[in-house]
Structure 1
């Protein structure tokens, strides 16, 4: 933190300054990690999903919930994380209808700094997975920059890109289409934790096909996916 500490402490309470320091430290540590040689059978992952007020994090839209589940290789653990977030703005009616998250529900929820810290404490240094990760990555980067002036430095896998590599020329690769294709039961859509769990189950199905392509390490998988970005 260096010379920023007095300024930060004057802007936030001491707890908020500690939250910010934790987030900055975690992003710095992540840049040191080389994970390419790790076997896909043992890699530690966190599958996550966000619900948001809209699609433009740099034009006022905010995260309203985090959902995540921990996965070890192809084993989905019982370790989960879920938090509502107070976006400090009104949630549009169509988002309330889509997610079931109302303005009243988030009034007492943690703000983005505290919810983000809780999410990162759950993630630690594990690989992140999301379906159609561009949306989620933009919102995470916006939240990280807004709260701590850092960018996301975790490794990220996208089950949509993996599905495109394994199944070229399909008409659609959205989550509903992939769940149907791989026989994953749909529970509650547009709930961050439920979507994360369904995406984790999709990952397990995809992993079977990945192995059948003689791809067994994280580095090998990234190499294959680099041709499909």
Structure 2
């Protein structure tokens, strides 16, 4: 008699079709569809070579995450995702993505105060898999931009692996790294400092979509300086950043 407990069922499915179908079948049909979409986006991204694309026409998505803390590997979770489309130096103000995310854990009081996202708000939000699907449907094959991207990349990678067993394959540019190259004598490179340096209006900090919008304006300001240095393509930019 076959063992139909979860572990036994997983083993039977694995023997019949491999690990991915086994994992996928353990979820409901809608979740399986979300996972399949996320995996297909990452597979397509691996095929893309973007280095020759002109910085004047490159399609980007500037994004930001709000989280319950700083460590996705020690129980912290994404609580909101915000993103805005940019082509070259043109911010597509009408093309944005924003979603709260149900973290399936309590949001600490200091994070509620910082972000304005309460436990009550999060309780009605989409789960992580659905929010990721929406985000990646918005991003597609575009280059990602974030400020201080290490934090966001760690959380995205942890979330993608946990939900879909894939890693982030998108090209990622960090406005903090670009600022260090363009302004090596600055004492600080946090977002608030750079918004001040570039004369960008501060709307609402620690709101994922508003932070993404302000970072997009930071990117466009930097692009004018980058082009003055005869950096024309995405590959040129990566080559310069690799030395810093």
Q: TM-score range by the shorter chain?
A: over 0.9
Aligned equivalent of 1:151: 167
SS in 1 for 2:22: helix
Given the alignment, which residue of 66, 74, 90 partners 1:51? 66
Give runs of aligned pairs for residues 94-109 of structure 1, distance below 5 A: 94-109=110-125
Structure 1 counterpart of 2:56: 41
The alpha-carbon deviation at position 28 of structure 1 amounts to 1.1
TM-score, normalised via structure 1 length: 0.97
In the alignment of these two chains, the number of paired residues is: 228
Stretches of 4+ moved more than 4 A in 1?
none
Query: How many Å separate the matches in 2 of 1:6 and 1:157?
Result: 33
For residue 6 of structure 1, report the CA deviation from its aligned partner.
4.8
1:119 aligned onto 2:135 = yes
Q: Which residue of 2 aligns with 1:219?
A: 235
Aligned to 1:15: 30
Match in the other structure for 2:4: none
Q: Residue 31 of structure 1 corresponds to which residue in structure 2?
A: 46
Deviation at 1:206, TM superposition (A): 0.2
Once the two structures are TM-superposed, the CA of residue 25 in structure 1 deviates from its matched residue by 1.1
**Which residue of structure 2 lines up, in the alignment, with residue 72 of structure 1?**
87
Helix, strand or coil for the counterpart of 2:57?
A: coil
Aligned residues: CA RMSD: 1.2
Q: Deviations over 1:124-180 (max 9, x none)?
A: 000000000000000000000000111100000000000000000210000000000
- Asked if 1:87 corresponds to 2:117, the answer is no
TM-score by length of 2: 0.91
Q: Distance in 1 between matches of 2:176 and 2:230?
A: 20
Q: Once the 2 structures are TM-superposed, how far is the Cα of residue 108 of structure 1 from its aligned partner? A: 1.3
Give the Cα–Cα distance (whole angstroms) in 2 for the partners of residues 6 and 218 of structure 1.
37
User: After the TM superposition, which residues 110-189 of structure 1 pair with which residues of structure 2 at under 5 Å, given as runs?
Assistant: 110-189=126-205
Q: 2:25·2:32 contact (CA, 8 Å) conserved in 1?
A: no
| Greater radius of gyration (CA) | 2
Q: Give the secondary-structure state (helix, strand or coil) at the position aligned to 1:189.
A: coil
Gap runs ≥5 in structure 2:
1-13
Deviations for 1:97-148, whole angstroms, at most 9, x for unmatched residues? Answer: 0000000001111110010000000000000000000000000000000001
